[in-house]
Amino acid sequence: MAKLDHIMYAVSELQDGIDEILNLTGVTAEFGGTHPGNGTCNALLSFDNSQYLEIIAPDANQDLAGTLGEELKVHDFSGIRTWAVAVDDFAVITPVLDEFGFEHSIVPMNRTRPDGVRLDWQIMFVHRHPYGNFMPFFLNWLDSPHPANDTPGGCTLDTFAVEMLENSDSYKELMRALEIEVEVLEGPDGMRAVIDSPNGRVLLH
């Protein structure tokens, strides 16, 4: 059964996001690097050896036009934007997406860590579905080390849930077909994560 790989927590300024998470959890997320062509940079905080929180923000040193970085810069907010599921082989995912009538694309990604190590991975995005950012994207880390293994720890992910007013039944059906373990609740649209931290229990939404 597949499970959450990381939560993407979007902010309009990276340092503001690092400070916000520090104030909430007592842990300082570590700068991870930039995503060339995506207009973004990130900082990471590990939940354990296989899951983490990604604080993602615009990268002022890139041309942001038409990128995710531009989207994050325009929307002055902080909060969970979406989530990711790690898979070893996209071929396991594609037949299910085809059965549901959804389209998908695979995009190569990379970033270079502050220590000079380059990470290369692939992302599968799902298109033409009714779930917005509730639809996770899928990651194949290839031969790159998992980011949770060498980023600041001290926090654990207690629960992660998706709350939906519409399409919750079909969304649950999709998650079951993909064998993804996630709590799906009927309620005001949103995602929430409960984290146990040095400062106590923290809710991100």
Greatest extent of the chain over all pairs of C-alpha atoms, in Å: 45
> Following DSSP, what letter does each residue of 188-204 receive, concatenated?
SSEEEEEEEETTEEEEE
Instruction: Report the alpha-carbon distance of residue 21 to residue 86 in Å, rounded.
Output: 24
CB atoms within 10 A of CB 94: 15
* Residue ranges for the chain with pLDDT beneath 70: 1
Instruction: Report the alpha-carbon distance of residue 62 to residue 173 in Å, rounded.
Output: 40
Q: What is the pLDDT at residue 23?
A: 98
Helix spans in 49-185 (H): 68-74, 94-99, 168-178
pLDDT in tens, 117-154: 999 999 999 999 999 999 999 999 999 999 999 899 99
Q: What is the pLDDT at residue 20?
A: 98
What is the model's pTM? Answer: 0.95
Provide the residue ranges of all domains of the chain, joining segments of one domain with +.
Answer: 4-151
Q: What is the pLDDT at residue 74?
A: 86
Domain 4-151 sits in which CATH superfamily? 2,3-Dihydroxybiphenyl 1,2-Dioxygenase, domain 1 (3.10.180.10)
Q: What is the pLDDT at residue 9?
A: 98
